[in-house]
Amino acid sequence: MELGFLLGSLVKIIAIIAYLYGLMWLLARPSIWIKIAGLVGAFGIVQLALTDINGFRLLNNFDSGLLFQASAMTMVALGLNLIYGFNGQFSLGQWGFYGIGAYAAADITYRWINGDARGLLVLGLGALIGTLTLLGINKWLQRFRGIPVLSSFTLYLIGALITGAAAVYLGNQLNPLLTPLLGSVAEPGPLNSPVAQQVIYFLAVILAGIFAAQISFLFGLPVLTLGSDYFGIATLGFTIVVNTLMINSDTILPFPEMKGGRGMIGIPKLTTWFSAFFFMMAVIIIMRNLVHSSTGRSIVAVREDEIAAKAMGIDVAGAKLMSFVVGSFFAGIGGAVYAHYIGFLSPGTFNFLAGFNPLIIVVFGGLGSMTGTIAASFGWIFFLEGMLRVLLSQMGTEAPTWRFVLYPITLLLLMLIRPQGLFGSIEWGFLKGPEFITAPRQQPEPAHKSAI
């Protein structure tokens, strides 16, 4: 039994890595139809494995749970790789944004199924006018020269607070228009049909990402001017603050439904393989297109040498803020997907110690390697949460604790043998940049013979 399980788990891990490789290979084909077929096929294969056919399922509930966790972790870790691996800013705040995304999205859908549209309205309006306000202030500030960061931050903060208050006011005003259509848990209204709930869930995930991005913009603006070590400390502080707010969400924050330290229960479990796959692929594609563009190169240049980047005409502060905001957006989306898979949010999940998980994954897979991050996210969840947890629990009730001895040793060995991470800077198929040099170049005539 144990041997069978071990073999089965190993086969699963290898199959997933092969699956990812194949998907990336298909997406790298030039024809758009092969790309689409690759995406549909990759979705379909797993969906089929999750479907009950004559009482047989290739992947059971436990496996599908791991799959959802791994896709959520992929999004968070990719975001962190953008911030730390590509932009070189050591951040421990990723877990805080993950938590913000999880709670924000959970609040929207929880309220929605309980006949209250305020969550969606307030966050939706906040995302809309808040983003417009921040962009407007940004546009306006560009007309001035040499404004201190803290002054512009104060302006942004005031703008955000005003728009936040406006969003809450408008949301409360508009809520009565929608409530009759929502019904209650016992008698769901027309806007609470399963399809409508999925639509709201998709909206909630995106809004949670935008909300996390807005917070990260306000937080990153003053903090990103700090050097890398201080930035790390400040972001660690952020995660702790977010965690403390979660624990006290029903007392110092006006969210009784989040139930503070007891944990938020009753979140609708709306995450399906379709949504997990959809958001994960969206994050992967956005990330890949961003990294392999001129903006992506400027982000990497900031990591390599800030002063040289400035001298090359790169807005270093802007590049840092951009990668931080986009990374947090990914974390928010990942959190939202996780919340609707697990159905229960406890502040303990978002403890800052757990916040090191994405960091470990990013370093394990290879800083600056998207392939490494994706493969490490899946491998990590399936190995640690899947295989080891089950294997060790068969050896005794306390044995699963050994996981946290075994995996640091693995990490230690990896860092000794391969310090650049499992994948170094290797990228698979699609994740490689577009190649614009097709033919081997002819050696051109030296333009200045005298110089040689």
Partner 1 sequence: METSATSTSPTVLEIRGLTKFFGGLAAVRNFDLTLKHGELVGLIGPNGAGKTTVFNMITGLYVPTSGEIFFNGTNIVGLEPHEITRMGIARTFQNIRLFPNLTVLDNVRIAYHPHCGYTLSDGLLRTSRFNIKEKELTEQALDFLSIFQLDRIYNETAKNLPYGEQRRVEIARALACNPKLLLLDEPAAGMNPREIIELMDLIHFIRERFNLTILLIEHQMRVVMGICEWITVMDFGQVIARGTPKEIQENPLVIEAYLGKGVTHAA
Interface residues toward partner 1, by CB under 8 A: 145-146, 286, 289-290, 292-298, 300-301, 304-305, 307-316, 434, 436-437, 441, 443-444, 446-448, 450-452
**Residue number with CB closer to partner 1 (67 or 300):** 300
Structure tokens at 76: 């968070």
**Residue number with CB closer to partner 1 (204 or 314):** 314
From the CB of 205, what's the least distance to partner 1, in Å? 19
What backbone phi and psi angles, to 5 degrees, belong to 188?
-65, 135
**Residue number with CB closer to partner 1 (84 or 112):** 84
From the CB of 339, what's the least distance to partner 1, in Å? 26
From the CB of 23, what's the least distance to partner 1, in Å? 18
**Alpha-carbon torsion, ordered 439, 441, 442, 444, to 10 deg:** 150
**Residue number with CB closer to partner 1 (248 or 420):** 420
Distances (CA, A) of 405 to 67, 388, 408: 24, 11, 6
**Residue number with CB closer to partner 1 (66 or 134):** 134
**Residue number with CB closer to partner 1 (191 or 221):** 221
**Residue number with CB closer to partner 1 (85 or 386):** 85
**Residue number with CB closer to partner 1 (194 or 419):** 419
Distances (CA, A) of 138 to 127, 318, 353, 387: 16, 11, 35, 49
Neighbours of 394 (CB within 10 A): 11
Q: How many C-alpha atoms does 341 have within 13 Å on its Cβ side?
A: 25
Residues 6+ apart with CB under 8 A from 170: 121, 122, 125
Angle between helices 228-247 and 194-223 (to 10 degrees): 140
Question: Which residue is associated with the tokens 């949460």?
Answer: 385
From the CB of 295, what's the least distance to partner 1, in Å? 5
- Dihedral of alpha carbons 99, 104, 382, 426, sign: negative
Cα 148 from chain centroid? Answer: 31
**Residue number with CB closer to partner 1 (301 or 337):** 301
Distance CA 327, CA 131 (A): 17
**Residue number with CB closer to partner 1 (55 or 444):** 444
For residue 183, the cross-strand partners are: 188
Query: Which amino acid is residue 39, in one-letter code?
Result: L
**Residue number with CB closer to partner 1 (300 or 336):** 300
From the CB of 291, what's the least distance to partner 1, in Å? 10
Distance CA 441, CA 234 (A): 48
- Across 13-30, b (16+ Cβ under 10 Å) vs e yields beebeeebebbbebbbee
The alpha-helical segments, DSSP class H, found in 266-315 are: 273-291, 294-304, 306-311
Question: Which residue is associated with the tokens 């940004």?
Answer: 138
Residues 6+ apart with CB under 8 A from 374: 20, 74, 78, 284, 365
- Across 299-321, b (16+ Cβ under 10 Å) vs e yields bbbbbeebeebeeeebebbebbb
Q: Are 370 and 284 in contact (CB under 8 A)?
A: yes
**Residue number with CB closer to partner 1 (104 or 302):** 302
